[in-house]
Structure 1
Amino acid sequence: MKNLLLVMALISPLVSSAQKKAKTGPKVFDLVIGTYTGTDANASKGIYVYRFYAERGEAAYLNEVETDNPSFVAVTNDNHFVYAVNENNADGSGGVSAFKFDKQSGKLELINARKTKGSPAHISVDKEQKNVFVSNYGGGNLQVFPINKDGSLGVANQTIQDEGKGPDPMRQSEPHVHSAFLSPDEKYLMVSDLGLDKINIYRYKASKVPSLTPAEPAFVSTAGGSGPRHTTFSPNGKFMYNVQEMKATITVYTYDNGKVSEIQLIKMMPDSFTGVNGAADIHISPDGRFLYASNRGTANQIVVFAIDQLTGKLTRVDAYSTVGDNPRNFMIDPTGRFLLVGTSRRIYVFVIDKATGRLMQNREAIDVASAVCLKMVPVE
């Protein structure tokens, strides 16, 4: 009996510690940063990895790997691999690269690379780690690359080419596939075509070739000349939100097993705004209460909306300056305490008031230029 009590006494603190960690979740993450690269001495060189401490909102440099214009990155569900587009426009040499990833050291090691049929702007990967989806803005198509057991990418086994044009002759003279996001259950893929004002909907079956087939209905249209760009879902999976780049608007949809129905169209900017819009990214807080969207152009803001928990509809809360820099992709850290936004000069860190959704700029900033995509991987 004494031995049993001794064992229990020794185990109890360990169990308590494990329970506490499980309750609070990890507080240390690797921040994986995709960038635009260049020849300037101060330009970014490729993908950067920083250690992010969520209790303090601080970051420390770990590693980097050189690669051309890795503007968007995706991390596998097991955190062992990183995939990046190589967004090269001038010579048509766009591609996608696969890297091994060591989350303890932050080291990235190139496995292989594949050419894409156009200039890619976005990449995503399924949780089963079967396929990578590449959206070719230049070229107007979506490509599916199978993932091999060693994390390398096979030759694309499906290319879906869009056809047509939109009402804006300058921006929409041809298709521009801008992103592909899986539904929460990963049974459907939502593909935004900025050039055609459409969100194409595909049924997804990971182990089949081809893995994508048109859903019924096969697409939903956004307002003419709006330019759909990125999509996100509410944590409960009942609502879908799409941000439109050209008009800086957000469309709210009900979502049910691949079927969407528009319930609201809301402007990011007030009617008095006469500047240039360039809406870019959209994310929802982990608790599902607030939606954030970025607007570039001459606005250079992060706009905050409150989400009605019953209807999914949005109400504008406030907007926050990114100090004149161009806010592209941003992310909310998994703890919901910080919002990090990549801009042309650096990555700004905002503190989130969880009660109101409002932002306060943190004293910390990360000096990575032309940061386009931010992803976090738990270290603990």
Structure 2
Amino acid sequence: MKKFLALAITFCTWICFHSQNTYAFFGSFNWDKNTEGIYVYELDTIKGKLSKVTSYTGISNPSFITLSPDGKYIFACTESKTENGGSVSSFEFNPENKSLTFISKQKSGGENPVYLTAHKNGKWLVNGNYTEGSVSVYPISEGGKIEPYVQNIQFKEGSINPDRQERAHIHSTVFSPNFDYLFLPDLGADKIRVFKFENEKNQPLQEAEIAFTKTTLGSGPRHFTFHPNGKFAYCIEEMGGAVSVYSYEDGKLSNLQRIYTHSEKYKDNFESSDVYISPDGKFLYASNRGKENNIAIFSIQNDGKLKTVGYQSVKGKHPRTFNLDPSGNFLITANTGTNNVAVFKRAPETGLLKKVGKKIKIRNVSSVQIRKY
């Protein structure tokens, strides 16, 4: 009897394990809503192979995408870089029949929406508009419908580079680990702005005790992430080619380190783009565009500071974004300049990356999110 129960438990475990699927979602600059814009692929979590599942046609320039906390809905920045345009849209993904269905669309409050994030309670969506330098907050109703924004806050001041910092340019919108603060890296103003997020209020963005943290002048802060332990934060600078490291506590950032993402060979190539931390909290990855086109790999020390480990070519050009799968075993890059996606296997002990599978061609691919169902 014991042997039978052991076999039954093993079989059930096998079924549960193999019934889980990991999907990669890609956004793009399609420039024509009559062509595919959002793509869904299944990731083979053994070999790293990507297999196309479905796509969506009927929207223009879904340049950045994010998922709802339960993974049921996809939210996309749509009509990005579209004159007199700019919107955010929602879709339902059904992993059982592998379908993608349009739900709703709302004005973004700016011409060039570039980043979306959803609150953990699934009731709020926040969008950053790059061109005008603004942030918009939307309620999410039942069924994943985006309601009109209840707040649209505009920023004005720029910084020292007249060509790229003539005014504010919000480049990402990131919740704190407890979802009680919202951080807004402003490339145009060389600031990381911060608001309290009081999700029970009709207008949840409220003034924080410290409204912003200044970054190095001319650095152009772009994307931002927190360490899994909630004690450290990391901001990648598009124009400065560096990652700034901060300690974090209750809405406040304190600078610990600033380290370049570029190798000595490309020390003048200041065009960094995205940043993520492995789920185990041991390594940080940062993407470089321009001449270098690679992922910089850093080990994270106990004090939160970074130590350079190495660099991995993305096997393409202009990695606008990348992401890690939930297990931390794979890293996927969206190489906009060469219209391709590359998959890398991650060594958890060293943090190093190795190219696996075949490159996937997606025209003007610009964003990637990965989730297990």
Match of 1:54 in 2: 45
8 A Cα contact 2:241 2:269, kept in partner: no
What is the CA distance between 1:137 and its match in structure 2?
0.3
Question: Aligned partners of 1:222, 1:87: CA distance in 2, in Å?
Answer: 30
Query: Are 2:182 and 1:189 aligned?
Result: yes
Matching residue's letter, 2:125: V
Matching residue's letter, 1:146: P
Query: Are 2:258 and 1:253 aligned?
Result: no
CA shift in 2, pair 1:362/1:92, >3 Å? same
What is the CA distance between 1:65 and its match in structure 2?
0.5
Equivalence map 1:66-215=2 (5 Å): 66=57, 67-118=59-110, 119-215=112-208
Q: Which of 297, 303, 313 is the equivalent residue of 1:311?
A: 303
Matching residue's letter, 1:355: E
Across the aligned residues of Structure 1 and Structure 2, the Cα RMSD in angstroms comes to 2.1
Unaligned stretches of 5+ residues in structure 1:
none
Query: Are 2:217 and 1:231 aligned?
Result: no
What does the per-residue CA deviation read over 1:204-256, in whole Å, with 9 as the maximum and x for residues that have no partner?
A: 12221210112111110110010111111111111100000001110000111
What is the CA distance between 1:18 and its match in structure 2?
5.5
What is the CA distance between 1:202 and its match in structure 2?
1.2
8 A Cα contact 1:27 1:53, kept in partner: no
| TM-score, normalisation: structure 1 | 0.92
Match of 2:370 in 1: 376
Matching residue's letter, 2:42: R
Query: Are 2:355 and 1:361 aligned?
Result: yes
What is the CA distance between 1:324 and its match in structure 2?
4.4
Aligned to 1:225, what secondary structure does the other structure show? Answer: coil
Q: Identical aligned pairs, as a percentage? A: 33
CA shift in 2, pair 1:257/1:13, >3 Å? farther
What is the CA distance between 1:319 and its match in structure 2?
1.0
Question: Aligned partners of 1:133, 1:109: CA distance in 2, in Å?
Answer: 21
Question: Aligned partners of 2:284, 2:370: CA distance in 1, in Å?
Answer: 19
Unaligned stretches of 5+ residues in structure 2:
none
The runs of at least 4 aligned residues of structure 1 exceeding 3 Å deviation read 8-22, 24-27
8 A Cα contact 2:326 2:371, kept in partner: no
| TM-score, normalisation: structure 2 | 0.93
Question: Aligned partners of 1:246, 1:92: CA distance in 2, in Å?
Answer: 27
Question: Aligned partners of 2:372, 2:12: CA distance in 1, in Å?
Answer: 16
Match of 1:350 in 2: 344
Matching residue's letter, 2:95: K
Question: Aligned partners of 1:372, 1:133: CA distance in 2, in Å?
Answer: 19
What is the CA distance between 1:27 and its match in structure 2?
5.8
8 A Cα contact 2:62 2:80, kept in partner: no
Aligned to 1:150, what secondary structure does the other structure show? Answer: helix
